[in-house]
Amino acid sequence: MPTMAPAPTRIAILAGGSGTRFWPAGTATKPKQLLALDGDDERPLLRATVDRLKPLSKLPPYIVAPKALKRELTKLLPELPAEAFLWEPIPRNTCAAVALAAHAAQASSGDGPLVVIPADQHVSPLKDYRATLRAMAERARRFEGIVCLGLKPTHAATGYGYLELGKRTAKTAAGPVHHVRRYVEKPSRPRAGRMVKAGNFKWNGGTFAFRPSVFLHALDQHQSDVAWPLARACSRIGTKGFAASLSRAYKSVPSISVDYAVMEKARAVEALAAGIQWDDLGSWDAVARHRAADDDGNRLRGDVTVVDAKDCLVDSEDGHVALLGVKDLVVVRRGRNVLVAKRGRGESVRDVVARLEEEGRKDLLR
């Protein structure tokens, strides 16, 4: 009898998120995945992510994204077939999004590895990044568990999750694979410093590889209130009633991250300790780290005049910005909306958005 070809690897890109930390560039109708935030690359994050992942699979990637962005995303990615887009009826965090991708992959491609990747990351060098994802997929093909991406911390970051690594379980060309003892989510600065010094903690890269059957089994064990409604809805994938069924399911499932729902509870979790450069592009502070600077440390985009200013990030459209005698500022202009913030307060931009919502200024958030 002829040998059957192994089920192919598939890619799923998580393209949700509201982009509130990128106001005024990020709005309800233009969240961060539609913004050019990765260094001096002029492509929107989602476009750049799709492009860098093309060599990893002959099949088109799944794009898990809000249904409200259907027009914008299909225009951004015109080469993708309709079935590549998995439209979420309402936001429900990453657990439901990953489960939806797992069901879609299983229905279309069987139980080959699925690699789940956020659309908002900076990675380099590209060759090593692709090699890392290939190694994760091949490990997941043989492993009865979930493989995640672990990255060497470069500083005591408090906005990232950490993975405590245990014994080595495998060796790949991209780096060793270790059992994950536990997750630590967004530690205090002193605790983060101790973990970095310990040496056996890695940043959680938010990227996972698994066979759909393995993930869905873990989801059923640890988060049944997500597993069961989505299993019922996804049994109708490819039918006319799927969209309505998915909408009903999403209304009933809790909004919870895949880390909290599954990864922190599952026992069979490994991490590939990769040597690539990585950053979560979650704030203007992160954006500043990857844009080219002038001799005074200023990172400028748009029509900007600088006199005696240092270490500022300026991102301007539709108008001119002038800096005089200032340092360590973030200045973002979109039309008539301007943000001026101290560098290092990028995580707090969402508080500005919350205040605008309280004041009824939704006209500034669209």
- Give SS3 for 14: strand
Alpha carbon separation from 27 to 92, 141, 158 (Å, rounded): 18, 39, 25
Residue ranges per structural domain of the chain? 10-282, 285-364
Note down pLDDT in tens along the chain; length 366 residues: 555 678 899 999 999 977 789 999 999 889 999 999 999 999 999 999 999 999 999 999 999 999 999 999 999 999 999 999 999 999 999 999 999 999 999 999 899 999 999 999 999 999 999 999 999 999 999 999 999 999 999 888 888 899 999 999 999 999 999 999 999 888 899 999 999 999 999 999 999 999 999 999 999 999 999 999 999 999 999 999 999 999 999 999 999 999 999 999 999 999 999 999 999 999 999 999 999 999 999 999 999 999 999 999 999 998 899 999 999 999 999 999 999 999 999 889 999 999 999 999 989 988
Cα(150)–Cα(173) distance, integer angstroms:
15
Residue 279 tokens, joined: 């950053």
Question: Is the backbone of residue 259 left (phi > 0), alpha (psi -120 to 50) or beta?
Answer: alpha
Q: Which CATH superfamily is domain 10-282 in?
A: Spore Coat Polysaccharide Biosynthesis Protein SpsA; Chain A (3.90.550.10)
User: How many other C-beta atoms can be found within 10 angstroms of the C-beta atom of residue 38?
Assistant: 24
Q: Give, for 332, the enclosing helix (H) or strand (E).
A: strand 329-334
Burial classification of residue 191, based on how many CB atoms lie within 10 Å of its CB (0-12 exposed, 13-18 middle, 19 or more buried): middle
* Residue 195, pLDDT score: 92
Q: Give, for 45, the enclosing helix (H) or strand (E).
A: helix 45-53
* Residue 347, pLDDT score: 86
Residue 130 tokens, joined: 């692709």
